[in-house]
């Protein structure tokens, strides 16, 4: 299999390229995605290759970007739309909650909404206001949506191809902090990764750490110190906020007896609560410490000069791992 | 009447002064003295100096992402000069002159674009909302403020800014609709700088201009040469008179050109040509007003360098206030999220502080 070194930006571009080539129903649009190729250049070159009818700039209105995609999907197309930053998705929330997620069940299966809503998310990149949020828990809470978050270029490509091919709507959240920070050999040809399956990145015995997106890398850094202090960490990359891979998480916690969830979004009613519920429901008798979470505070992410207080560094992650292990 | 003479349905551009500073329609020249014009000119120079320095501070890594104002200074100045202390400013993010004239300090702007929420406080001036980064989301707020002023029988005008891209958002249309039904004292200024990041205005709307959208809401709209200080000044003056009389909102489309990038993270070479950028240099608002003042014997080219030097020093002084600002404290993260902090949040702060203590102790070992 021929491979190329790719960043996540290139891997997502590659996935879009492959699907535009093999499915004439795929269209790609959003603000600045056409001529410019997106503010992060994720769609770079695609308009030149596939034409303006299939890859295009929309007017500036998130609600209409998503709302028109619902219509296209109902009429047989497979739109992949971009929301420039996840912090700007909220005008489209009515469309997402009221239609994207509901059309299939309301029409008793007559119409579906096979579409992907891509959006860069997450912080610690010294960004302006509304450019640092991690609101994946909101999408996980809306019945009818799948919500996917890759942590590597390889996963981004395989997961996005699956997302475009699935007949259900997918919120595809791209951790922009690692858009270009991680390079990896990625196969040039098409491959898919099943949606809803977590991945064990490191086997360990003392504690299960569940994380996803840009924080995987931070957890891996924390694990160096944990290892030096004799703590064996099993690291699970969740990859899918919904559906959630209950089985993989449960098996791991049964083995290690301890669980820490690490993510960026606000703590309350977040992904951590869901993983802790799984620990309780599936592995209660194996638990040697209360399942724990290290999430963001229940505040908006501070502007860049305060970021270091909000976004967890490996030291904080290690500290929380140690707390659970020492319980 | 101005709004009748420049009905947007005829796609006429309201202009008072041409590119060389000559009056093309003296009957519409606002009743302002040349001294006032000179003062406005100097202010525009100051704003441009500050704006250019922001870009270079960003390039030096001393400021974060910044949206340049270059080429749009006449709009913010001509509108800003007419904002009274009791009037509201509801900004977008590319009208620095209006911020300063409303009473923001330059150090506030540096704080904001430098990464402190403190820069949105504008402690020296009331009636001034923070910038609105989610496009057009501020316009319903302007209408709500207008309603409150009307309800309280207060003499206030609300000045709200938005860009050409913002006119595609539902919030733009919903705000104009509410505002016209409620007949609130709101002036919406659309800075049509031709681009929403990379997307040109012809891909934003199929309307022949943006001012024409006012017609659907039953309010006056006018398309103004946004690089003509006199035209923007006059249109704003008429809009103030109209809206203050209880007639409801006015929509001003100020046609201009964003000569810089969308922000310092943007690369305009990807979506527009150098020829196009050059073609707007001749219409530059500062160049035009300077030509007017020179022709009136109010200004000489040689006055400029020492003044620019003085402005540079003033900007440096304000920048030092920002650079010497106290570090972002833990408390700053948590303190303002609620008026009364919930226990849940307090515990999160305490947990973080405990970690910091542990970190400190670990360092010592």
From chain B, pick out residues whose CB is under 8 angstroms from the CB of A60.
Answer: 135, 165-166, 168-169, 196, 199, 204
Residue B59, strand partner residues: none
User: A138: distance to nearest CA of chain B, Å?
Assistant: 19
Asked if B14 contacts B222 with a C-beta cutoff of 8 angstroms, the reply is yes
The DSSP symbol for A289 reads: S
Please give the C-alpha separations between residue A43 and each of A1, A12, B195, in angstroms, as whole numbers: 24, 8, 19
Nearest to A61 among B169, B197, B342 (CB): B169
Q: Is A131 a catalytic residue?
A: yes
- Across A317-322, average pLDDT: 98
Confidence tier at B124 by pLDDT (50, 70, 90): confident
Confidence tier at B364 by pLDDT (50, 70, 90): low
Question: Does residue B184 share a domain with residue B55?
Answer: yes
Size of interface A-B (CB pairs under 8 A): 120
Q: What percent of chain A has pLDDT over 90?
A: 100
The catalytic position among A130, A131, A309, A312 is: A131
Confidence tier at B363 by pLDDT (50, 70, 90): confident
Question: Does residue B274 share a domain with residue B228?
Answer: yes
Q: Scan residues 30-49 of A and list those with Cβ closer than 8 Å to B.
A: 31-32, 35-37, 39
Question: Does residue B168 share a domain with residue B133?
Answer: yes
Whether the CB of A221 is below 8 Å from some CB of chain B: the reply is no
Nearest to A60 among B166, B263, B342 (CB): B166
The chain B residue lying nearest A297, using CA atoms, is B348
From chain A, pick out residues whose CB is under 8 angstroms from the CB of B348.
Answer: 267, 297-298
Q: Cα separation of A79 and A311, whole Å? A: 33
Give residue-wise pLDDT tens across range A103-119.
999 999 999 999 999 99
- Across A66-72, average pLDDT: 98
Asked if A196 contacts A146 with a C-beta cutoff of 8 angstroms, the reply is yes
Asked if A27 contacts A80 with a C-beta cutoff of 8 angstroms, the reply is yes
Please give the C-alpha separations between residue B20 and each of B104, B224, B265, in angstroms, as whole numbers: 32, 17, 33
Confidence tier at A1 by pLDDT (50, 70, 90): confident
- Across B310-330, average pLDDT: 97
User: B210: distance to nearest CA of chain A, Å?
Assistant: 14
Cβ contact, residue pair B117, A302, below 8 Å: yes
Structural domains of chain A sorted by starting position, each given as residue range(s) with its CATH number in brackets: 3-187 (3.40.50.970), 199-325 (3.40.50.920)
Give residue-wise pLDDT tens across range A41-62.
999 999 999 999 999 999 999 9
Strands (E), chain B: 88-90, 158-163, 186-192, 195-196, 199-200, 221-225, 250-255
What's the start-to-end Cα distance of chain B, in Å? 79
Side-chain-side CA neighbours of A197 within 13 Å: the count stands at: 12
Q: Cα separation of B199 and A168, whole Å? A: 30
Give residue-wise pLDDT tens across range B221-265.
999 999 999 999 999 999 999 999 999 999 999 999 999 999 999
Q: Which residues, at least 6 apart from B225, have a Cβ–Cβ distance to it below 8 Å?
A: B13, B14, B15, B16, B231, B232, B254, B255
Question: Does residue B275 share a domain with residue B350?
Answer: no
- DSSP letters for B280-325: HHTT-HHHHHHHHHHHTTS--GGGHHHHHHHHHHHHHHHHHHHHTP
Question: Does residue B233 share a domain with residue B177?
Answer: yes
Nearest to B345 among A297, A302, A319 (CB): A297
Question: Does residue B318 share a domain with residue B224?
Answer: yes
Q: Cα separation of A25 and A10, whole Å? A: 22
Question: Does residue B276 share a domain with residue B354?
Answer: no
Checking if the pLDDT of B189 tops 60, the result is yes
Confidence tier at B365 by pLDDT (50, 70, 90): low
Q: Cα separation of A24 and A327, whole Å? A: 56
- Across A279-305, average pLDDT: 98
The chain A residue lying nearest B270, using CA atoms, is A36
Indicate the average pLDDT of chain A: 98
- Across B106-119, average pLDDT: 97
State the pairing for strand pair A146-148/A184-187. unpaired
Cβ contact, residue pair B133, A129, below 8 Å: yes
Q: Cα separation of B52 and B56, whole Å? A: 6
> What are the structure tokens assigned to A131, written together?
């450019």
Q: Which domain holds residue B78?
A: 2-323
Q: Is B325 a catalytic residue?
A: no
User: B269: distance to nearest CA of chain A, Å?
Assistant: 9
CATH of the domain at B312: 3.40.50.970
From chain A, pick out residues whose CB is under 8 angstroms from the CB of B270.
Answer: 35-37
Nearest to A303 among B115, B134, B352 (CB): B115
The chain A residue lying nearest B205, using CA atoms, is A59
Strands (E), A17-169: 26-30, 55-57, 78-82, 116-121, 146-148
Side-chain-side CA neighbours of B241 within 13 Å: the count stands at: 9
Q: Cα separation of A139 and A143, whole Å? A: 8
Question: Does residue B337 share a domain with residue B316?
Answer: no
Q: Cα separation of B299 and B38, whole Å? A: 8
Cβ contact, residue pair A306, B328, below 8 Å: yes
Asked if A14 contacts A2 with a C-beta cutoff of 8 angstroms, the reply is no
Compute φ and ψ for B207, nearest 5 degrees: -65, 150
Question: Does residue B357 share a domain with residue B251?
Answer: no
Nearest to A130 among B134, B171, B328 (CB): B134
User: A270: distance to nearest CA of chain B, Å?
Assistant: 14
Closest CA to B27 of B36, B16, B18, B35: B16
- Across B117-132, average pLDDT: 95
Residue B336, strand partner residues: none
CA angle A255, A253, A317 (to 5 degrees): 115
Q: Which residues, at least 6 apart from A224, have a Cβ–Cβ distance to it below 8 Å?
A: A314
Question: Does residue B235 share a domain with residue B152?
Answer: yes
Q: How many domains does chain B have?
A: 2
User: B47: distance to nearest CA of chain A, Å?
Assistant: 22
CA A148 to chain centre: 4
Nearest to B328 among A126, A305, A316 (CB): A305
Closest CA to A313 of A264, A258, A274: A264
Give residue-wise pLDDT tens across range B270-313.
999 999 999 999 999 999 999 999 999 999 999 999 999 999 99
Asked if B51 contacts B70 with a C-beta cutoff of 8 angstroms, the reply is yes
* DSSP-based three-state secondary structure for B190: strand
Please give the C-alpha separations between residue B260 and each of A128, A227, B71, B225, B295, in angstroms, as whole numbers: 18, 50, 8, 19, 29
The DSSP symbol for A203 reads: -
Give residue-wise pLDDT tens across range A220-277.
999 999 999 999 999 999 999 999 999 999 999 999 999 999 999 999 999 999 999 9
Question: Does residue B102 share a domain with residue B194?
Answer: yes
Best B62, B328, B351, B354 member to test A by mutation, with max A CBs in 10 Å, is B328
The catalytic position among B48, B94, B156, B258 is: B258
Cβ contact, residue pair A60, B135, below 8 Å: yes
Cβ contact, residue pair A299, B333, below 8 Å: yes
Own/partner pairs for B120-124, CB < 8 Å, 24+ apart?
A: none
CA B51 to chain centre: 12
Question: Does residue B193 share a domain with residue B157?
Answer: yes
Give residue-wise pLDDT tens across range A124-183.
999 999 999 999 999 999 999 999 999 999 999 999 999 999 999 999 999 999 999 999
Asked if B319 contacts B74 with a C-beta cutoff of 8 angstroms, the reply is no
The catalytic position among B48, B94, B156, B262 is: B262
Cβ contact, residue pair B198, A300, below 8 Å: no
Asked if A27 contacts A81 with a C-beta cutoff of 8 angstroms, the reply is no
Please give the C-alpha separations between residue A123 and each of A26, A179, A213, A299, in angstroms, as whole numbers: 30, 12, 11, 13
H helices within A188-266, ranges in order?
215-228, 246-256
* Buried b or exposed e, range A80-103, using 16+ CB within 10 angstroms: bbbbbbbbbbbbbbebbbebbbbb
Indicate the average pLDDT of chain B: 97
> What are the structure tokens assigned to A41, written together?
């250049």
Checking if the pLDDT of B97 tops 80, the result is yes
Q: Which residues, at least 6 apart from B138, have a Cβ–Cβ distance to it below 8 Å?
A: B90, B91, B92, B129, B132, B160, B161, B162
State the pairing for strand pair A240-242/A146-148. antiparallel
Q: Cα separation of A224 and A215, whole Å? A: 15
């Amino acid at each position: 299999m021929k491979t190329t070194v790719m960043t996540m930006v290139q891997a997502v571009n590659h996935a879009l390229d492959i699907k535009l080539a093999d499915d004439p129903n795929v269209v790609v649009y959003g603000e600045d995605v056409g001529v410019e190729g997106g503010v992060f250049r994720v769609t770079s070159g695609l308009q030149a290759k596939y034409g303006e009818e299939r890859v295009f700039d929309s007017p500036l209105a998130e609600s209409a970007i998503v709302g028109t995609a619902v219509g296209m999907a109902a009429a047989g197309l497979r739109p992949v739309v971009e929301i420039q930053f996840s912090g700007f998705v909220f005008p489209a929330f009515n469309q997402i909650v009221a239609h994207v997620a509901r059309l299939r069940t309301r029409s008793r299966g007559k119409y579906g909404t096979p579409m992907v809503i891509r959006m860069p998310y997450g912080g610690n990149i010294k960004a302006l206001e509304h450019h640092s949020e991690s609101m994946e828990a909101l999408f996980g809470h809306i019945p009818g949506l799948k919500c996917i978050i890759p942590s590597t270029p390889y996963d981004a490509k395989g997961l996005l191809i699956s997302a475009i091919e699935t007949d259900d709507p997918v919120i595809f959240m791209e951790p922009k902090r690692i858009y270009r920070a991680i390079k990896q050999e990625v196969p040039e040809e098409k491959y898919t990764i099943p949606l809803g399956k977590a991945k064990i990145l490191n086997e360990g015995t003392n504690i299960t750490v569940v994380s996803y997106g840009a924080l995987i890398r931070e957890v891996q850094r924390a694990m160096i110190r944990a290892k030096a202090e004799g703590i064996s960490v099993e690291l699970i990359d969740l990859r899918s906020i919904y559906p959630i891979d209950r089985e993989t998480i449960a098996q791991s916690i049964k083995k290690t007896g301890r669980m820490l969830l690490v993510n960026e979004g606000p703590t309350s009613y977040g992904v951590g609560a869901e993983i802790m519920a799984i620990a309780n429901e599936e592995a209660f008798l194996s638990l040697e410490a209360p399942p724990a979470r290290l999430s963001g505070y229940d505040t908006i992410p501070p502007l860049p000069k305060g970021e270091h207080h909000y976004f967890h560094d490996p030291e904080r992650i290690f500290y929380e791992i140690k707390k659970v292990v020492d319980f | 009447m101005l709004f009748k003479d420049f009905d947007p349905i005829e796609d006429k551009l309201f202009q008072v002064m041409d590119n060389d500073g000559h009056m093309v329609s003296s009957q519409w020249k606002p009743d302002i003295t040349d001294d006032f014009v000179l003062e406005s000119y100097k202010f525009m120079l100051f704003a441009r100096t500050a704006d250019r320095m922001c870009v270079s501070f960003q390039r030096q890594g001393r400021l974060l992402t910044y949206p340049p104002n270059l080429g749009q200074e006449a709009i913010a100045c001509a509108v800003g000069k007419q904002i009274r202390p009791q009037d509201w400013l509801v900004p977008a993010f590319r009208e620095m002159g209006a911020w300063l004239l409303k009473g923001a300090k330059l150090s506030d702007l540096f704080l904001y674009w430098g990464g402190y929420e403190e820069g949105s406080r504008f402690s020296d001036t009331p009636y001034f909302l923070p910038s609105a980064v989610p496009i057009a989301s501020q316009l319903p707020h302007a209408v709500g403020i207008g309603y409150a002023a009307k309800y309280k029988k207060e003499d206030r005008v609300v000045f709200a800014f938005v860009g050409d891209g913002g006119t595609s958002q539902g919030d733009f249309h919903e705000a104009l609709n509410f505002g016209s039904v409620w007949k609130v004292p709101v002036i919406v200024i659309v800075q049509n700088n031709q681009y929403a990041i990379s997307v040109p205005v012809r891909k934003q709307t199929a309307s022949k201009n943006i001012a024409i959208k006012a017609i659907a809401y039953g309010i006056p709209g006018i398309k103004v040469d946004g690089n003509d200080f006199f035209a923007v000044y006059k249109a704003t003056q008429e809009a103030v008179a109209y809206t203050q009389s209880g007639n409801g909102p006015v929509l001003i489309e100020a046609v201009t050109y964003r000569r810089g990038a969308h922000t310092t993270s943007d690369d305009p070479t990807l979506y527009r040509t150098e020829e196009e950028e050059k073609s707007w240099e001749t219409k530059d608002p500062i160049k035009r007003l300077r030509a007017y003042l020179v022709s009136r014997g109010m200004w000489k080219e040689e006055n400029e360098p020492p003044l620019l030097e003085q402005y540079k020093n003033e900007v440096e002084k304000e920048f030092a206030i920002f650079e010497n600002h106290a570090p972002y404290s833990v408390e700053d993260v948590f303190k303002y999220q609620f008026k009364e902090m919930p226990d849940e949040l307090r515990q999160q702060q305490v947990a973080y502080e405990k970690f910091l203590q542990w970190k400190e102790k670990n360092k010592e070992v």
